[in-house]
Chains A and B, each alone.
Chain A
């Protein structure tokens, strides 16, 4: 079974990402939405948290949320996939359940 984990808060605000990484099974997908897209930016204190987990999880970020925050694709960590809302819906359909880390 694979679960889609959504993280909607910045790692600078809340420890949801840390907890998610601790409790998500390897092979699951982690999607950053809303302020959570900040976790997918390069050159931040938290970038390594994500880059070091790229082999364990499939990471994505919701591009409309990144764009809203002035983040362009070259500012986002390589290996974290950009998706739109249609892609978000597809991810939900393709996984067995969804866990929101709030």
Chain B
């Protein structure tokens, strides 16, 4: 039996949050965090992602990486919706501190199967108070 099936069989569902605080490319954390999130999707847990501090840059539109000779992995974020990951929190203060607006970031979407597969945005811009409460509710928090 695969381990995913074992977990599903046991029925344990925990709130998992993946918190991203670093910009992409300067370190590997952004890429390897995304790899965890995609694998984790198979385990049917209650997943949220948070982008805080420089982590908001991971979703910045228009990443062109030819000049640094590194693979541009930012298109992969748009697949999160297909993996049923639709709770993506972006901290408002982190955007503002960096002079960024939501329109500077990719709009990540998912199809809501409870609403005739209507396409909806997975992204929620939240202020620090709201994000603090969300973090406080989590069972397992992985930080990258």
Q: Are B52 and A99 in contact (CB under 8 A)?
A: no
A-B contact count (CB 8 A): 46
A3 touches B21 (CB 8 A): no
Chain B's closest residue to A28 (CB) is B136
Interface flag for A98 (CB, 8 Å): yes
B128 within 8 A of A: yes
A64 to chain B minimum Cβ distance, whole angstroms, is: 22
B69 to chain A, nearest CB (A): 27
- Name the prevailing secondary structure of the B interface residues: mixed
Q: Is B141 an interface residue when CB atoms closer than 8 A count as contact?
A: yes
Contact partner, A102, options B21, B128, B140, Cβ 8 Å:
B21
CB neighbours of A100 from chain B (8 A)? 141, 143
Q: Is A78 an interface residue (CB 8 A)?
A: no
Contacts of B137 in A (CB 8 A): 1
In angstroms, Cα B14 to Cα A97, docked, is 11
How many chain-B residues does the 8 Å CB contact rule pick out? 19
A24 contact set on B, CB distance < 8 A: 132, 135
Kindly identify, within residues 103 to 144 of chain B, every residue whose CB is under 8 Å from any CB belonging to chain A: 128, 131-133, 135-141, 143-144
Which residues 9-31 of B sit at the A interface, judged by CB distance below 8 A? 19, 21
Return chain B residues, CB-CB under 8 Å to A99.
Answer: 19, 135, 138, 141, 143
B44 within 8 A of A: no
Within the complex, what minimum Cβ distance (angstroms) separates A14 from chain B?
Answer: 10
Residues on the A chain within 8 Å of B144, using CB: 102
B84: Cβ under 8 A from any A Cβ = no
Interface readout for A89-102 with B: 1 if CB under 8 Å, 0 if not? 00000001111111
What sequence of 0s and 1s flags, for each residue 55-98 of chain B, a beta carbon within 8 Å of any chain A beta carbon?
A: 00000000000000000000000000000000000010100000
Task: Give Cα distance in the complex from A1 to B140, angstroms.
Answer: 12
Give the interface of B toward A (CB within 8 A). Answer: 19, 21, 52-53, 91, 93, 128, 131-133, 135-141, 143-144
A residues with a Cβ closer than 8 A to B are 1-3, 15-16, 19, 22-25, 28, 96-102
